[in-house]
Amino acid sequence: MLNNKLDNYNLILASGSPRRQQFFKELGLTFEIRLKPIDEDYPNRLRHFEISDYLAQLKSLPFKAELKENDILITSDTIVWHNETALGKPKDHQEAFDMLSSMSDATHEVITSVCFTTKNSQKTVNAVTKVVFKALTENEINHYINTFKPFDKAGAYGIQEWIGQIGIINIEGSYTNVVGLPTHLVYKTLNTMTI
């Protein structure tokens, strides 16, 4: 349905995330994948969705010069916000363990920002989802990290994996946002861009 409206556009997804790529397929979108490396550094003054907005926009910069008139570049970033701190991707087992321990028996927020860049404009949207973990045992946390190796995931977990099935007791907001892409916002934004 949306794909028909996008007939005259070339969608470029700048993400190596298999989850984001799968969501685009499930939305029925025709798209190409283009990847460029970038240092995901941000100013310390930024808080909450300002961080993911900034990083999603930062990821678009290497592509700006090569965008053509009918291109829509989509970049995205997900962070976990907990105790007034942004949790990114853990560097090792200990960091993953510390992150999951801190979120045990507590509520955190998952924030994903999506940036839509054309040759002449840019629009950034974001979604915030509240997630509550039960009290996780050390054995559960270690089993999850050893089995699923969540080092490519913000906050050291994937909601769609074992830890989500046994540990998450409540979610308020978009589920797909926690997986890594607020698909309802992507759909809505692309619809408004192609009127």
Which domains occur in the chain, in start order?
2-193 (3.90.950.10)
Q: Is the pLDDT of residue 162 over 60?
A: yes
Q: Where would I find the H helices in the chain? A: 2-5, 18-26, 49-58, 93-103, 138-148, 162-167, 175-179, 183-193
Catalytically annotated residue among 39, 41, 71, 77: 77
Residue 152 appears among annotated catalytic residues: no
pLDDT digits (tens, 9 = 90+) for 45-97: 999 999 999 999 999 999 999 999 999 999 999 999 999 999 989 999 999 99
Q: What is the mean pLDDT of residues 148-166?
A: 95
**Cβ distance 187 to 2 under 8 Å?**
yes
pLDDT number for residue 194:
67
State yes or no: pLDDT of 5 exceeds 90. no
